[in-house]
Amino acid sequence: MSDKKGPAAAAARGGGVRIFGATWVLPIVSDPIHKGAVAVEGDSIKAVGKAEEMTAAFPDAEVTDFHHAIVMPGFVNCHSHVEYAVFRGIMDNKNFGPWILEFLDHKGKLSHDDYVVSAMLGASECVSSGLTTSADSMYSGASLGAIVQAGLRARVYQEVFGLDDNKLDDTMSQLIDKINELEENTGDLIEVGIAPHATYTVSASLYRAVAELARERGMKITTHLAESRAESVYIRSGSGILALDFREKVGWDYLSHEPFGVTPVKYLQQWNVFGPGFLAAHCVHVTPADIEALARYDVAIAHCPKSNAKLGCGIAPLPAFLHAGIRVGFGTDSPASSNIMDMFGEMRTAIFLHRGVERDAAVLGAAECVQMATLGGARALGMEDRIGSLEPGKQADIIAVDMEYSHFTPIHDPYSALVFGANQEDIFFTMVAGRPLYTRKVLLTMDEEEITKKAREVKEKLWQ
């Protein structure tokens, strides 16, 4: 991991072409390039090819040679909650129903300032893990400032809750105020979306109102959908832990609830909320008819294999999604459920789970996993024209993975090396829009030591 003058120094000088070379370059849209390089000018990729070709084409460029490493597009995280980073490790051995009840108890222990600290911790982990773009659902609003400071690219979705339609106008008014405030504080790298939380926390009327608002303002929507058996039982029969214990805990037990007799996907389909700008997180408990409906309405899916397995929710039918032509990207979900935001872990969990369930090693390959973690995620978010692959004209969102360790040697297939051998600790360089955020394992935009110190103090409140 050496360079001629250093990527941070080159960026600070501004202007000119910078070249980043490595043993392997993965453009994603074409074959891996051995001894390749990426030329960057400003915030964009100028060229991709053999290192010797790049240096010959741009003889005055600043050259960074990462040597025994893989240079590739940054990971696209299709579902996250960075504001919950301090919640990791508290509820590690609970099924989804009891987990969410306890999660509500812990959420109330923290102040807004605490959530700011938690979000800073989460955003810093994104940078050091090579997650250059996040589709982040937030309620407190703390995530936006943390993501901006970190220098990440993101679509931040403002969460909204509400089952009492008597309060619908007030709920929508408050939502619009929050969105307007968020949009005043975003930069070129941040979009704002809306996140009606889930079918068990949002009424049909609120879903419809959110969909109408999103269409009026050209905004994207995400929601937790068909995540758990508890959700399916609630929607289909109006019973179970979400109909009783959960509603009582949040103060909705006075509201009547009739069983709908359908799946969560069919429930939302009838309210005209689906469309190409809709991102459904999880989709574990879906039927073949549900999958057909999601494909017909061009709904994208954030696949969160680690979180779904850890909470006992199950395994989403990823092969069926792909076969149906649905746009799918990986999501790390919340650190409260998945503990760490490590895209390598998501890829590895997915390939093992789906091969095991299908009893077929051909059902999902390493290259497919890396594609889903990059360009597939970009397509799921509707950002594939800007990010997800190393191509001239696209944004320079680039990461480098160190391959100097024994668990990589020898390397014949860089895709296999990434999926079966790498983890977040192997990331040593992260760049977004041509700006280095992390180099030689040092955060350039945030004070990691200070963030960690404050996060430990916040964590103590959760243990009390």
**Span 351-362, pLDDT tens digits:** 999 999 999 999
414 and 393 belong to one structural domain:
yes
**Total number of domains in the chain:** 2
pLDDT at 14: 38
Q: Based on the domain organization, do 263 and 319 belong to the same domain?
A: yes
**150 and 275 both lie in a single domain:** yes
- The answer to whether residue 100 sits within a structural domain is yes
CA nearest neighbour of 335 among 230, 459, 241, 231: 459
Q: Mean pLDDT score of the chain, rounded to an integer? A: 95
At 317, is the secondary structure helix, strand, or coil?
Answer: coil
For residue 463, is it within any domain? no
Calpha distance 315→51 (Å, rounded) = 42
460 located within any domain: no
69 with 213, same domain: the answer is no
> Mean per-residue pLDDT for 274-284?
96
Structural domain span for residue 98 = 75-380
- pLDDT above 90: residue 185: no
Taking a C-beta distance cutoff of 8 angstroms, is the pair 363, 354 a contact?
Answer: yes
Q: How many percent of the chain have pLDDT more than 90? A: 92
Q: Are residues 128 and 151 in the same domain?
A: yes
453 domain-assigned: no
- DSSP summary character for residue 315: -
For residue 78, what pLDDT band results from cuts at 50, 70 and 90?
Answer: very high
- 115 part of a folded domain: yes
Same domain, 295 and 419: no
pTM across the whole model? 0.96
* Per-residue model confidence (pLDDT) at position 290: 98
pLDDT of residue 15: 53
Same domain (yes/no): 80, 208: yes
pLDDT for the residue 3: 47
For residue 194, pLDDT beyond 70: yes
| Token duo for residue 345 | 């872990």
Dihedral sign, Cα of residue 308, residue 309, residue 314, residue 319: positive
Average pLDDT over residues 451-458: 97
Residue-level pLDDT at 409: 78
Instruction: Tell me: pLDDT of 1 over 50.
Output: no
Q: Are residues 37 and 79 in the same domain?
A: no
pLDDT digits (tens, 9 = 90+) for 96-141: 999 999 999 999 999 999 999 999 999 999 999 999 999 999 999 9
* Portion of the chain with pLDDT greater than 70, in percent: 97
Q: What is the rounded average pLDDT of the residues 69-84?
A: 98
Cβ atoms within 10 Å, residue 320: 15
How do strand 328-330 and strand 44-50 relate by DSSP bridges? unpaired
- Where is average pLDDT lowest: 50-64, 73-87, 225-239, 399-413? 399-413
Please state the rounded mean pLDDT for residues 180-197. Answer: 95
Q: Which tokens belong to 89?
A: 């490790």
- Tokens read off for 395: 């944004």
Q: Quick one: how far is CA 11 from the chain centroid? A: 27
Residue 5, pLDDT > 50, answer: no
pLDDT digits (tens, 9 = 90+) for 36-46: 999 999 999 99
Task: Measure Cα distances from 323 to 213, 247, 338 in Å.
Answer: 32, 37, 27
Range 5-16 average pLDDT: 49
Q: Residue 212 — pLDDT band, cuts 50, 70, 90? A: very high
**Do 45 and 98 fall into the same domain?**
no
Q: What distance in Å separates the CA atoms of residue 174 and residue 204, rounded to the nearest whole number?
A: 18
Do 278 and 258 lie in a common domain? yes
Q: State whether 37 and 129 are in the same domain.
A: no
User: 222: Cβ–Cβ under 8 A, 6 or more apart, which residues?
Assistant: 79, 135, 137, 157, 193, 194, 195, 278, 279, 280, 281, 302
pLDDT at 252 over 90: yes
pLDDT band at 405 (very low <50, low <70, confident <90, very high): confident
- How many Å apart are CA 287 and CA 198, to the nearest integer? 18
Give the model's pLDDT for residue 77: 98
- Residue 159 is assigned to a structural domain of this protein: yes
CATH assignment of the domain containing 272: 3.20.20.140
256 confidence band (pLDDT: 50, 70, 90) = confident
C-alpha 318 chain-centroid distance? 17
Instruction: Please tell me the predicted confidence (pLDDT) of residue 406.
Output: 64
> Is 369 in the same domain as 441?
no
